[in-house]
Each structure stands twice: as structure tokens, then as C-alpha cells.
Amino acid sequence: MSSKSNDAPVRGDAPANNLSQPAETHQSVEALADTITTNHGIPIADNQNTLLAGVRGPALMEDFVLREKLTHFDHERIPERVVHARGSGAHGYFELYASLADITKAAFLSDPAVRTDVFARFSTVAGSSGSGDLARDVRGFAVKFYTSEGIYDLVGNNIPVFFVQDAMKFPDLAHAVKPEPDRGFPQASSAHDTFWDFVSLSPESMHMLLWTMSDRAIPRSFRMIEGFGVNTFRMVNAAGASNFVKFHWRPRLGLQSVLWDEAVSINGADPDFHRRDLWEAIDQGDFPEWEFGVQVISEATAASLDFDVLDPTKLIPEELVPVRIVGKMVLNRNVGNFFSETEQVAFLPTNLPPGIEFSNDPLLQGRLHSYQDTQITRLGGPNFHELPINAARCPMHNFQRDGMHQMNVPKGRVSYEPNSLDQGVPRENPHRGATSIPEQMDGEKIRQRASTFADHYSQARLFFRSVTKPEQAHIIDAFAFELSKVQVKAIRTRMLGHLAIIDPDLQAQVEASLGMQGEADTITPAVKPRELTPSPALSILAKAVPTLKGRKVGVLLLDGFDPALLTALQDSVNSEKASLFLVANSIAGATDSSGKLVPADGALSGSPSVFFDSVAILAPKDPPKTLPLAAATTEWLEKAFNHRKVMAYSSGAKTILERAQVASDPGVVLLSGASSVGGYIKAAKHGRLWDRVRAGEEGADA
């Protein structure tokens, strides 16, 4: 907006006519370059006042400036995505480490010299676009590759399996988890009757439920989630040989989650926690990266598995079929406009370049219809592929024409093919074009689930038994929390019946938490669960690598702190590629021992310790007996301790820690001087102390 329009007179100041103003009529086109205009380019003289019939009179219909502005505003909103409405996106690139030409003829996967532009969008599923980031939910992990052979959309999740096996069940699943239709709540939560009613009547959901009740569903950051294609696809090489494939994304920063108690607090204190985290990391040049991997499964291997490779409620343990890491994605540019890019991006699982094909997974088959269809309503017509974020970055031409919001001007007399009037028009290309493998089809027309899809419990048990004790404890707590919100008791007893089949210990502990011992329904599974060899790769904690990279250390500064200690801390944290966030009683900052004011990044009231991966408190040598904001300080420390975080403190903070019931253990580190900072960093890199005994507890229960 030009400064001129900001300076425009306001109502009451305006002269009756503008004769005293310099005439604009003789201005050149250049002089109008910074003048605000209507959508049709008509220069606007006054962007503050409606055209009135007399200074205190009614508005005039002819005020096209006002009417256009209001009309456009009235239509600013488009329908939010029916699922995955809340999300954040960023631009970046994909690089191949080594050619995959033995498996696929897709050009972008064959030549390591090629760098492919990408746009990634991460999302939650159940909540509306304004819901909190920390909902217990699956995270969408959708990547658009702008390849030389057209768009490739890999529309996955951060959990490798899905709730249902057949697309026919998807609208019911989505209705069940969304706010209940009569009352309009709960928002962004599966902890309610309709969700648990539906899943408890759908045994195929059991495996995915174990994942959504696990820490995977409350990630610390989008930068710290894995991604999975979920559905099985095929890859076909230039010779026509085909294999099944499963897609994987591995975060370079490692996997990390928050605790449920933290998730609840973060949602209140910063509902944009994940969105902000991704934005800030990219903004600061700390670009998140994921490695891309494929599990390649021959027809023979697929036939040897004790489940069906077409069943999206099953994963293939990587101990059975290793993940071949073939490249990496780097997100290095934030969007310029959230609506134009993150909101208008349209992912279609049907967008596959030659060399990648669908499998007959019945869930995938339904998705092939749904995404294209939903975009027509959401983006207002069939030309959404012309929006800059969706447009292919390779030549694109065909004879599809017209429709709402056509933005191109396709030239020429010929808009059909074959034709003899214009020899220069594009033609089909049997050599380079997308084809399908000649798969034999000879089935009966039938509505029936394959019997090879019938084992609903073995992999649910596999997941529970593959994760560590603290992770199991969180799953138990999550089931207990969610089911305690279910009002209809019959739903709870039904769910307990399923848990009994998955793992008797899981069932017993959830039952005890609910006070419903002995009340589980007896459920007879269609196929009895098999004992599978645990897969440590499914655990977050079992494969955690000690690191502080990409993490945030919160430092609470009390007036009179030692600046040398802060500098030492800052240097060590920076050298780990982590960041320091300074918290003080007020946003103005805290004064160090020399009386110098050090500005804070956040005030204590707005920066709870749940925001940080590890915390430190720097107090003066002899703190005054009565501290300002003493209760808030105590709570900040107490919560960090109870959330099992590694903590550092200067000697002057000892009594404050005692008041906060922070016991001494290897995760509470005294900073006696600059040389002791290394010990703290070493401890902090290991993450939480799962065996920490908290105040009032007899032993660790994680």
C-alpha cells in the first residue's frame, strides 16, 4: 500500500471537495506504479472512506471501490480440506544418491545429477484448519515432486499403516473421528464416543490404533517425524520388470515426541507450535532434511509374507525387507503466501510419473478417485492444476479446454486429436508415456474382503511388543485417557475385549486405570494372532541417537546472573547446532551481575518449560529470599523435572530447585563454571531420563 493512501484524510477532516489537491490526471503511468488500484487496475484516490451522499449521509451504490473490496473479502474463504485441514508447507528439493534405474524408469529416480524441486505439506487429520498443532493424531506427510515427466505426488502419513482396508469405509471413519454432528465437539480429538464406537466395531483398525495411541501421534516437530507411503505401489524398470514398493522418509534430526501432558500445555500456550517450529527453522537457515528409502518386494517375497502386501493395515518389518536409502529431501524455502501455496496445493495420488504404478490395494484404488474429486469443490473447478503451486514445471499440453477459472490462453483452431489441420500439435507417445504393466485380471465381479486380509491382531501385538517400556506405558496411558472420555460403557468393554487379544498386560493395565477389572467383552478373532519377531525399528527410543541438533534449550535468567556462564552455555549449545532461548521475568530481559540488561526472547508467563527440550536456570550467587514471580519460576522448573528433562543450574539456584521439588539425579547438572557446561550438554543429548523418580513416586513408571 502506498504511503499516500495511509495519509489520506479521515472522515471529518476531508475538505468538501478536493479542488485544493494537486491534480492527478496528468501523472504518467510510472507515477501510478505505487498507487493502490481496484482489481481492474483503476487507481483509487481514497482507501479509507466510503462514498457518501453528504458527509453524514448514506452510502452510494456507485461506490465500486467499496463494493469490490467487500465482495472480494466476502469470498476469501474456500472450503477447508475435509480431512487434513490443518497443515504447514515448505519448498525444497530432492536429490538422488544413486540411480534406481534397476527398479524404475522414472527419470527423476534414475539420474543422480538431477535435482528435483519439491513442495511438502505436513498436517493433522481430524481437526479443522484453526485447530491446535499438538492434537493426538496421525500427521499427513505429502510431497509434490516437480519432475521432468510431470508431477509426482507421494501423499503419505507419519504412520505406516491405516485404520481401514477398503475405501468404502473411509467416509465413516472420518465422520466418526470428526466432532459429533449433533453437538459440534470435540474438536481435533479422537477421545469421544463416536470414534471409539466405530473403531471398536472395525477390528481392522486395531494395528493403527496402537500407533495413534503411541508417541508417534504427538511429535515434537514436523522436522522429527518419519513419513510412509502406506499403500503398496509398484515400480517398473525400462525392461518392464516390476516389483512392489513401500516408501519411507527418515528425518535427519531423528524421531522425537512430546509427552501427553506437554502436548496439552503446548496446545494452550502456542497452538502453532509445529507450524512456528518449521517456519523458524527454515527462516534461520536450519533446513530440515529427510532421507528417502524404498522397500523393494518381489512377487515371490510378497507371496512368502504371512499377510497380504495389498493390505494397508500391515507393514513389512524392515528386519524382513531392508529399507534401501536412495536420496534426500531438503526443505529450504518458506512459502511466500500461505493461502496461495499451502492452502491451494492439491495433491493427487493419481499423479505418478512413468515407472511408478498403483497396486491393487483397495484403499489406494478409492483414493485414486477421491483426491481429484475433492479439489473440484475445494478449488472451484477443473483448472486447479494451473495454480502456480500445482502447475507442472515441464512441458504440459493437451486439448482439455475451458472450465471455471481458465487462466491460460490456448491458441489455435484445433482443440482435438487426431486432426489433420495442424500437424504441429502434441500427440500420444507410446514410448515415453505412462503405461500399465500387463497384469492378468480374471476375477469375478464381487464385493468381498480377501481372506488374506483377515488377521487384524498380529501386527498390533508386534508393535506393542517392539517398543520400549516407557513407550508401552504411554500407549497404556493414552488408551486409558481416551476411553475414559467415552460415555457409553459398552464401547469401553468392547475395546477392552480387543486389547485382551492384542496383549493381556496392555488390557489389564488399561482396565485397571479405568477401574473396569474383569469387564472386557469376549471377542473371538477371525484369525488368532501369531507371535512375530519384535521389530526394534518400530520404536522411537530404541533407535534414538544422542543429539541436540535442531533442539531448543530454554534458559531462565534471574537478575544478577553470571554472564560468563551464559556465554559458555551459548557457545556449547550453538556448537551442537541447537538453539538457546532466553526466558526472563519480563520480555525486557534480565540484568547480569555487572548490571547490564540482556534482552529476553520470551517472558516467563509466555514461555513455559514445555516449549524446550532441555532447560537451565542461571541465578545470582546469592539470590534474594523473596523472588519476583517465585511461583511461576517454581512451576517452570517443577514441570521440566517432571517431564524428565535434563536440567542445568548455577549454584545460586539450589534453593529454588529445592522449592520446586527437583531432586538431584544425573539429569540435574550443576554449572559450577564454564568448564562444567560440557557435562550438561553430554547429558542433554541423551534426551529424557525415563527412570527419573519424581516427587511423590516410589519408583519410575515413565
Residues marked as catalytic: 84, 157
Find the Cα–Cα–Cα–Cα dihedral 144, 145, 151, 154, rounded to 10°: -50
Q: Scanning the structure block, which residue is given the C-alpha cell 487434513?
A: 84
To the nearest whole angstrom, how small is the minimum distance from the Cβ of residue 371 to ligand HDE?
Answer: 4
- Residue 252 assigned ligand-binding role: no
Main-chain dihedrals φ then ψ at residue 389, nearest 5 degrees:
-70, -25
Helix (H, G, I), strand (E, B) or coil at 247: strand
To the nearest whole angstrom, how small is the minimum distance from the Cβ of residue 555 to ligand HDE?
Answer: 36
DSSP 341: I
- Which residues here bind ligand HDE, judged by CB under 6 A? 81-84, 87, 121, 123, 140, 142, 155-157, 162, 167, 170, 230-231, 312, 345-347, 363, 366-367, 370-371, 374
Residues 6+ apart with CB under 8 A from 255: 219, 224, 225, 226, 540, 543, 544
- DSSP one-letter string for 561-576: B-HHHHHHHHHHHHHT
Instruction: Using the minimum distance from each CB to ligand HDE, give the nearer residue, 374 or 406.
Output: 374
- Residue 67 assigned ligand-binding role: no
Which residue, among 285, 273, 329, has the nearest Cα to 120 in the 3D structure? 329
To the nearest whole angstrom, how small is the minimum distance from the Cβ of residue 234 to ligand HDE?
Answer: 16
Q: Please state, in angstroms and rounded to a whole number, the distance separating the CA atoms of residues 215 and 471.
A: 7
User: Between the CA of residue 398 and those of 411, 415, 435, what are the distances in Å?
Assistant: 12, 8, 17
Cell reading at 96:
538422488
Q: Please state, in angstroms and rounded to a whole number, the distance separating the CA atoms of residues 600 and 390.
A: 41
How many Cβ atoms from other residues are within 10 Å of residue 366's Cβ?
A: 17
Which uninterrupted H or E stretch holds 6?
A: helix 3-6
To the nearest whole angstrom, how small is the minimum distance from the Cβ of residue 431 to ligand HDE?
Answer: 31
Cell reading at 401:
479446454
To the nearest whole angstrom, how small is the minimum distance from the Cβ of residue 129 to ligand HDE?
Answer: 11
User: Between the CA of residue 149 and those of 94, 100, 109, 434, 556, what are the distances in Å?
Assistant: 15, 16, 11, 9, 53
Q: Please state, in angstroms and rounded to a whole number, the distance separating the CA atoms of residues 2 and 6.
A: 7
To the nearest whole angstrom, how small is the minimum distance from the Cβ of residue 502 to ligand HDE?
Answer: 22
Cis peptide before 438 (omega within 30 of 0): no
To the nearest whole angstrom, how small is the minimum distance from the Cβ of residue 229 to ligand HDE?
Answer: 6
Cell reading at 576:
551442537
Main-chain dihedrals φ then ψ at residue 140, nearest 5 degrees:
-70, 145
Instruction: Using the minimum distance from each CB to ligand HDE, give the nearer residue, 84 or 494.
Output: 84
* Burial of residue 134, with CB atoms counted within 10 A of its CB: 0-12 exposed, 13-18 middle, 19 or more buried: buried
Q: Cα 485 to the chain's mean position, in Å?
A: 25
Q: Cα 683 to the chain's mean position, in Å?
A: 29
Output the residue with the shortest Cβ distance to ligand HDE. Answer: 140
Half-sphere exposure of 198 (CA within 13 A, CB side): 20
- Residue 115 assigned ligand-binding role: no
- Residue 11 assigned ligand-binding role: no
Instruction: Using the minimum distance from each CB to ligand HDE, give the nearer residue, 371 or 690.
Output: 371
Which uninterrupted H or E stretch holds 357?
A: strand 356-358
Residue type, 244: F
To the nearest whole angstrom, how small is the minimum distance from the Cβ of residue 415 to ligand HDE?
Answer: 29
Instruction: Using the minimum distance from each CB to ligand HDE, give the nearer residue, 343 or 592.
Output: 343
- Residue 170 assigned ligand-binding role: yes
Cell reading at 317:
518389518
Instruction: Using the minimum distance from each CB to ligand HDE, give the nearer residue, 85 or 615.
Output: 85
Runs of H (alpha helix) within 129-253: 170-177, 193-200, 206-212
Instruction: Using the minimum distance from each CB to ligand HDE, give the nearer residue, 84 or 328.
Output: 84
- Residue 247 assigned ligand-binding role: no
* Feature table: binding site for heme: 81, 121, 170, 367, 371, 378
